[in-house]
Amino acid sequence: MQMVESQRRDCQDPISALFFPTMNLHTTGRFPAYRPRRLRQSLALRRMVAETRLSVESLVWPLFVCAGSRVRKPIGAMPGVFQLSVDELVKEATQAHQLGVPAVLLFGIPKTKDARASGAYAQNGIVQQATRALKKELPTLMIITDVCLCEYMEHGHCGLVAKNDQTGRVLNDPSLDLLARTAVSHAEAGADIVAPSDMMDGRVRAIREGLDQKGLSDIPIMSYAAKYASAFYGPFREAAESAPHFGDRRSYQMDPPNANEAMREVALDIEEGADIVMVKPALSYLDILYRVKTEFGYPTAAYAVSAEYSMIKAAGANGWINEQAVQMEALLSMRRAGADILITYAAPDVARWLKG
pLDDT 10s digits, 248-303: 888 889 999 999 999 999 999 999 999 999 999 999 999 999 999 999 999 999 99
**Contact (Cβ atoms closer than 8 angstroms) between residue 315 and residue 325:** no
d(CA 71, CA 86) in angstroms, rounded, equals: 8
pLDDT of the residue at 10: 41
Report pLDDT for 19: 45
For the ranges 48-57, 151-160, 187-196, 311-320, which has the lowest average pLDDT? 151-160
Of 126, 137, 139, nearest in space to 185 by CA? 126
> How many domains does the chain fold into?
2
End residue of a domain, out of 25, 48, 71: 48
For residue 139, what is the domain's CATH number?
3.20.20.70
Q: Are residues 18 and 154 in the same domain?
A: no
Write the CB contacts of 287 (distance below 8 Å, at least 6 apart in sequence): 259, 337
Catalytic residue flag (residue 280): yes
**Over pLDDT 70: what percentage of the chain?**
91
Among the listed residues 113, 280, 293, 313, the single catalytic one is 280
Taking each helix axis as running N to C, give the angle between helix 347-355 and helix 323-337, from 0 to 180 degrees, rounded to the nearest 10: 100
Same domain, 43 and 113: no
32 and 143 belong to one structural domain: no
| 227 in active site | yes
Question: Domain range spanning residue 20?
Answer: 2-48
Distance CA 220, CA 301 (A): 14
Q: Are residues 94 and 142 in the same domain?
A: yes
Q: Which of 73, 135, 214, 227 is catalytic?
A: 227
Residues 28 and 124 in one domain: no
Measured CA distances, 186 to 64, 107, 148, 194, 236 (Å): 15, 11, 11, 7, 21
220 and 126, same structural domain? yes
Indicate whether 13 and 82 sit together in one domain. Answer: no
